Amino acid sequence: MAEVGTIGRTYHINVVRLYGFCYDHYMSALVYEFMENGSLNKYLFGEKGMIEWEKLQEIATGTAKGIAYLHEECQQRIIHYDIKAANVLLDANFFPKVVDFGLSKFCNTDFTHVSNTRYRGTPGDFAPKYLLKNDLITYKCDMYSFGMLFEIVGRRRNTIMSSFESLDWFPKHVWEKYEKGKLAEMTKTGGIEEKDRGKAERMFMVALWCVQDSPKARSPMSTIVKMLEEEWPSCCLLNPFIICTQWK
């Protein structure tokens, strides 16, 4: 019912359509438009064939537009809470739509945060500050989760637990390469052709904007859309990992 209450108020080409629902003693069901190609994560992590780079760019931009709509164009701002590749569905033409609003919350557009009493979202995709201070959630946490762009370019999960239970965090590796001016090396491992590596580096840099430690440093999603569409800001990137040393 939480999902019906949220998505029933939305209409955007990059947000999945809810056609109906059933909620009684015999059945609970949500009826969505059919998305023939399933979720994005199946293509990023090897369960299905790879998607060509140009299409991945379109998927990233379309997803950003869907989130921007939730944050900036609805009467009440909608915080999704669980932005990740598994919650981006693809239609027959690989057109992306954001799905799964079971964890979402409303927030008036003139307020910056909503209260939170327990942890929500997916570990590794959620802003680490909210794992430590589990009381206030801002819409900027969705921008942090949109750092799934790292996964799109690298075609690997952002977080991998080693056999010694230590955390291998891909975004931190990307920052280290960026600092050394070797970001192009990270694009090779994702199988990106040389002609597309400049655009892939750009997407890595946009992802670094998304995972800035301070929520104030994260650009609004409408700005992220512009970055993905070739409008780059004049200010410099900050190290997102100085404060969050617990992620080393």
Catalytic annotation on 24?
no
159 - beta bridge partners?
169
Q: Classify the phi-psi angles of 235: left when phi > 0, otherwise alpha if psi is within -120 to 50, otherwise beta.
A: beta
Which of 82, 100, 125, 213 is catalytic? The answer is 82
CB neighbour burial string for 24-35, b if at least 16 within 10 angstroms, e if fewer: eeeeeebeeeeb
Residue 95: both structure tokens together: 């057109």
d(CA 86, CA 97): 11
Q: Which helix or strand (DSSP H or E) is residue 198 part of?
A: helix 197-210
Residue of 137, 158, 142 whose CA lies nearest to 204 = 158
What residues are labeled active site?
Answer: 82
